[in-house]
Amino acid sequence: MRFFGFLILTALLVVFVGPFVPYWMLMVGAFLLALVLKPGNSAAFFGAGFGFALSWVGLSLYLTIDTGSELGGRMAAILGVQSGTVLMIVTGIVGFLLGAFSSLSGNMLRNLFRKKPDNIYGGR
Amino acid sequence: MKYIAFVIVVLITGLLGYLGSISLGPAPPMAPLLDPNHGFWQNMKSEDALAKEEIVLEGLVAPVHVSYDENLIPHVFAENEQDLYRVQGYVTAMHRLWQMEFQTMAASGRISEIVGSIAVPLDRMTRRKGLAYGAELGMEFIQKTDPETLLLLEAYSDGVNQYIDQLSEARLPVEYKILNYRPEHWTAYKSILLLKYMSDMLVGDRDLEYSNLRKYLGEEMMGKLFPDFPEENDPVIESGKKWEFAPIPISRPDSISYPDDALVIEPLPQPEEGTGSNNWAVAGSKTKSGNPILANDPHLSLNLPSLWYSMQLSTPDFSVKGATLPGALGVISGFNRNIAWGVTNATKDARDWYKITFETDQREAYRYGSESRKTEFRIEEIKVKGESPFMDTVVYTHYGPVVYDRTFRAERQDVNFALKWTAHEGSNEQKTFLLLNKAENHSDYNLALDHFTSPAQNFVFASKSGDIAMRIQGKFPLKWKEQGKYFMDGADPRMEWQSYIPNEQNPSTLNPERGFVSSANQHPVDSTYPYYVFDNSYEHYRNRRLNTRLREMSGITLQDMQELQFDDYYLHAFEALPVMLELLGNDASAESQAQKYLQELKNWDYYADPNQQAPTLFYLWWGKLYDSIWKDLSELEGPIVRPNYYRTVKLLKNETQGEIFDLKSTSGKETASTHVKQSFGAMLEEMKTWEAEEGDYAWANYKRTKIQHLVPQFTSLSVENVYTGGGAGIINATSSRHGASWRMVVEMGEEVKAFGIYPGGQSGNPGSKFYANFVPKWANGEYLNFDLREKEEEASLLFETVFTPQL
């Protein structure tokens, strides 16, 4: 359940905050979400990963269908992949990696704090 | 343990974020490119989906209303010219920003900044030709002489810049995203540079090749193979025109000696074969309605985004519509309520080369008659993507830049030739178009043309009041016979251009008796024109076909003129093929294929329509024949040009047994018929391969017209295998990479009726539905309605935007 909840939260972040910030700000966002909500390592990793991936694929799919543009296929040819669909999958994979690892980092940082609450301002 | 795991995961995250943000090899940074909120996916949106009702534009005096018709053609309604051009800049940038900038980068030798060191030789070449130098002089000239135009140039560039400044990552043209760079600010200078770029695209010279030929062939043979005028000269200005001026006397110095080095350097890149154009106007006496009709179709390399961008520009004083060049102000080929005009290239050997004799190795001075003149050094800093800049020193003489020297392509010999070119002299071509846009009659047109220097153009004209006219305008040096045909000695002051032909002595005609004016890049005049006229590239076919048709036509309608622009008649084949068939005799192999091809050729009506097979056969056969006849010439060391098709056909017909056909490199004696037979065999071979590999040899399938993206490597952004007829030397001059880059026909009646089309689309964005949507219609010979629009007109309106001044 935590996985789905976290997935949806990440997707909302990507879809609604994404248009206003560059992708690395979304990575920071996913990191902070996990840090605050501590969903657990696997929910953080897969939830944010799929949240990112599905929203990136969803957005590119929506744009492709909505506009009827052939740009996907044209870009695929320039980047040396087979088709626009493959490029969409690549987009999803890149999104997954960015989301999953950012979020996992956040969750793991939180795990560190949990064991040593006294060292919270200590760094090290 | 947890610390270590955390550190590892954070490192991976950081690495992913970092790798996503940098370019790996030639690839752009992947994460921003793929991010659907900002990356290329955003470029899928078409302009109508992004329409804004209102845009605040600083510097406007009054609101400006822009209506886009169903083809995304903007119609700009402003209260004054400054507002008009400010909005022209903004709107053009909205649809064509990447292209505008890329073309000026190319013109100023800055491609290395975008693609890296691979482009350094290209950039050095561009700079050594002095394009940017010419644009700087042009800019100074305008600053000094024409503050009014300067103001408008600055308004335009401010419009472009206001667009750039509000541009979001998502809306950035996709080429910037792929090539990973960002637009910089536009300037008035860049608009001037763009017009110089046109000069470079359209102006060539063959001085090097002719120098080599002269050395190998001698004067007499040169005259035979490269006569100054063709037998059937059908010039731009009608033959028999009386020249009503007293020519400036000029005489050829006696005892000229040309530099006699064997020249094995590479020639400058030339405008490609097939870059030419047609324009004509017919008087009311020849039209059905009684109104003059004007037509123009400039042929250029077929590219996407298209070179042209259509617009209507209106103020309370005038309304002009037609084709604009993104980056330049106003309409370049178009019409207003009173006049219409069009352009074709009128090259007349505007570039000459002078051998420079430096006094010392330091190249600080060179010999000029009995004196010694100082050179100037221009340091060109070529910035290179990812590397340190490349510094190049170019030596300038009073003639112009020394293009080739010991640091640039000097592998084979000491070169040191200076380039003299009218594009290096201050001029104000922009003014011509600004004035034409609002011209009302023939004398306004003449005043506008007086500002035009380079690249020389045949300006056709028609007016509502019933006038038709043609004027060949450029700054033409006054030359003695054969001056500048070959490389000249720069140390001999007698080789200098003495002065220029005054504007009023440039060839022109107004309302000629024959009822039409026309140009198709042929000889400008007949041999009675008092000045020396020479160029290697004059057309011999399109002009004669065009004039034949115009002479015989009457009761002409706009539709007739559209059909004439799309005329596929292959005059060269009509003249050459019967001679070839006769010389072949009954000697062709009895092979069934050979007989089939011969039958197709014999039954051919000489139209190069897309579904015809005979044009392919003829084209191949002729190509092989031509190569075979001039084999000896082609094998000479150093670059040369071969006699043109027209001359070659004449020789085939009239000197069948002539010495000319005997190849010195073989032991036997060849005649015209030997070449014809051999080339027919070679054509059979090639056709066999073609039929085996490709099957269908219909003309369109063989020539494969391609409209190529400005970055040739982006093949998927190009349109390939366009099904259309025509070819080089045909009025519909659509060959594989060149053709009518813009077609326009206009009838100058009480209400102007106009049609236009170009092979592309209004949008420069490859993701937009307006990117290449005109191509199918263009390929079919169809047109778009180009009538002038009224501000409040609702018909076929896509959307409207109001630009408002900042409060």
Q: Tens of pLDDT along B390-436? A: 999 999 999 999 988 877 776 645 578 889 988 888 889 999 999 99
From the CB of residue B661, how many other CB atoms can be counted at a distance below 10 Å? Answer: 20
The whole-number pLDDT of residue B431 equals 94
Whether residue A65 lies within 8 A of chain B, CB to CB, comes out as no
Percent of chain B with pLDDT over 70: 97
Task: Answer yes or no: same fold for B224-304+342-565 and B571-703.
Answer: no
B396-431 burial: b if 16+ Cβ within 10 Å, else e: bbebbbbbbbeebbeeeeebbbbbbbbbbbbbbbbb
Helix (H, G, I), strand (E, B) or coil at B791: coil
> Is B289 within 8 Å of B748 (Cβ atoms)?
no
Q: Flag whether pLDDT at B261 surpasses 70.
A: no
> Is B474 within 8 Å of B452 (Cβ atoms)?
yes
The whole-number pLDDT of residue A124 equals 46
CB contact under 8 A, A64 and B31: no
Nearest CA in chain A to B177: A75
Burial tier of B440 (Cβ tally within 10 Å: 0-12, 13-18, 19+): middle
Whether residue B19 lies within 8 A of chain A, CB to CB, comes out as no
Best of A13, A69, A109, A114 to mutate (most B CBs within 10 Å, chain B): A69
Nearest CA in chain B to A99: B13
Q: In chain B, where are the structural domains located?
A: 224-304+342-565, 571-703
pLDDT tens per residue, range B337-381: 999 999 998 877 788 888 888 888 888 899 998 899 999 999 999
Best of B37, B179, B763 to mutate (most A CBs within 10 Å, chain A): B37
Task: Measure CB to CB from residue B716 to each of A19, A27, A74 and give the nearest one.
Answer: A74
Distance CA A49, CA A43 (A): 9
CATH class belonging to B571-703: mainly alpha
Task: Measure CB to CB from residue B766 to each of A67, A74, A91 and give the nearest one.
Answer: A74
Distance CA B346, CA B453 (A): 11
Whether residue A105 lies within 8 A of chain B, CB to CB, comes out as yes
The whole-number pLDDT of residue B658 equals 85
User: Which residues in chain A have Cβ-Cβ distances shorter than 8 Å to B768?
Assistant: 69
pLDDT tens per residue, range B693-708: 988 999 999 999 999 9
List the Cα angle B550/B551/B554 in 5-degree steps.
75
Whether residue B21 lies within 8 A of chain A, CB to CB, comes out as yes
pLDDT tens per residue, range B611-650: 999 999 999 999 999 999 999 888 887 788 899 999 999 9
What is the band of B484 on the pLDDT scale with cuts at 50, 70, 90? confident
Q: Which residue has the higher pLDDT, B785 or A41?
A: B785
Helix (H, G, I), strand (E, B) or coil at B206: coil
Chain B from 678 to 717: CB within 8 A of any A CB: 714-717
CB contact under 8 A, A91 and B6: no
CB contact under 8 A, A24 and B766: no
> Is B50 within 8 Å of B60 (Cβ atoms)?
no
Distance from CA of B724 to the nearest CA of A (A): 23
How confident is the model over A60-73, as a mean pLDDT? 94
Best of A20, A31, A105, A115 to mutate (most B CBs within 10 Å, chain B): A105
CB contact under 8 A, A112 and B3: yes
Percent of chain A with pLDDT over 90: 53
Q: Flag whether pLDDT at B516 surpasses 70.
A: yes
Which stretches within B291-354 are classed as H helix?
Answer: none
How confident is the model over B754-781, as a mean pLDDT? 96
Q: Which residue has the higher pLDDT, B481 or B750?
A: B750
> Is B366 within 8 Å of B373 (Cβ atoms)?
yes
Q: In what order do the strands lie in the sheet with B417-421?
A: B402-404, B417-421, B351-355, B488-489
pLDDT tens per residue, range B286-334: 999 999 999 999 988 889 999 999 999 999 999 999 999 999 999 999 9
CA B53 and chain centroid, separation: 37
The whole-number pLDDT of residue B553 equals 95
> Is B730 within 8 Å of B541 (Cβ atoms)?
yes
DSSP state for residue B661 in the 8-state scheme? G
Strands B309-314, B319-324: parallel, antiparallel or unpaired by DSSP? antiparallel
What CATH number does domain B224-304+342-565 carry, 3.30.360, 3.40.395, 1.10.3470, 3.60.20? Answer: 3.60.20
Question: In chain A, how long is the greatest CA-to-CA distance?
Answer: 57
- With tokens 């670059």, the residue in question is B639
* φ and ψ of B451, to 5 deg: -85, 0
Q: What share of residues in chain A are helix, strand, coil (percent, to 5)?
A: 85, 0, 15
Is the bond preceding B235 in cis, omega lying within 30 degrees of 0? Answer: no
How confident is the model over B483-494, as a mean pLDDT? 86
Distance CA B602, CA B589 (A): 16
> Is B568 within 8 Å of B609 (Cβ atoms)?
yes
Whether residue A41 lies within 8 A of chain B, CB to CB, comes out as no
Distance CA B526, CA B228 (A): 10
Distance from CA of A101 to the nearest CA of B (A): 5
CB contact under 8 A, A104 and B16: no
* φ and ψ of B303, to 5 deg: -135, 160
CB contact under 8 A, B716 and A77: yes
DSSP states of B267-308 as a string? PPP-PPTT--EEEEEE-GGGBSSSS-EEEEEEEEE-EES-S-
pLDDT tens per residue, range B556-593: 999 999 999 999 999 999 999 999 999 988 766 667 88
Percent of chain B with pLDDT over 90: 65
Residues in chain B: 807
User: Which residues in chain A have Cβ-Cβ distances shorter than 8 Å to B27?
Assistant: 79
List the Cα angle B373/B378/B379 in 5-degree steps.
145
Whether residue A24 lies within 8 A of chain B, CB to CB, comes out as yes
User: Which residues in chain A have Cβ-Cβ distances shorter than 8 Å to B5?
Assistant: 108
Nearest CA in chain B to A79: B27
Distance CA B477, CA B700 (A): 42
Q: Which residue has the higher pLDDT, B450 or B425?
A: B450
B37-68 burial: b if 16+ Cβ within 10 Å, else e: bbbbbbbbbbbeeeeeeebebeebeeebbbbb
pLDDT tens per residue, range A9-58: 889 999 999 899 999 999 999 899 888 888 888 888 999 999 999 999 99
Sorted by sequence, the CB contacts under 8 Å of residue B648 that are 6+ apart come out as: B626, B629, B630, B642
CB contact under 8 A, A108 and B2: yes
The whole-number pLDDT of residue B314 equals 97
The whole-number pLDDT of residue B311 equals 97
How confident is the model over B665-674, as a mean pLDDT? 87
- Mean per-residue pLDDT of chain B: 91
The whole-number pLDDT of residue A119 equals 54
Distance CA A21, CA B754 (A): 47
